[in-house]
Structure 1
């Protein structure tokens, strides 16, 4: 399934995993926010400063999906978060 994201030109998703796969694959994307996913999606996108890629109304879709993303910055944030998580696990799983 990950290969689908890698080959996509851009992605529209309404799931946490679809959003994270889009980020990992360095794709232009937007995420549809529903009441059932609002907390997870806004938290994830906020962590990466990608709040502008949320869609609450289908009319926003075209403008949001074409926004450029600086994946150099995103990858740096992802590395920092990964290291923070690994340190937490090392500290707490002794």
Structure 2
């Protein structure tokens, strides 16, 4: 399974969800796959992540900010796994993503 989570514990939430989703199994219906590929973070969240990353580069984050950034990164990893499965499913069906 290529979830992009190399080196992470097989017991953490992202690894568990990766096994549930199984991105290497291209079994999504094309309509479902296309819907998943439309998922994106709202602009407000993108801006928040950019601010947290910039602050981390400059002065460092508070513990709460670090936890918030970690949650965004986990959500992004989850979304990446879903989108990987969606793209593979469309490819298997001979369709473009």
- Choose 1 or 2 for highest CA Rg: 2
Please give the TM-score of this superposition, normalised by the length of structure 1.
0.33
Higher strand share: 1
Higher relative contact order (CA 8 A, sep 6+): 2
Please give the TM-score of this superposition, normalised by the length of structure 2.
0.33
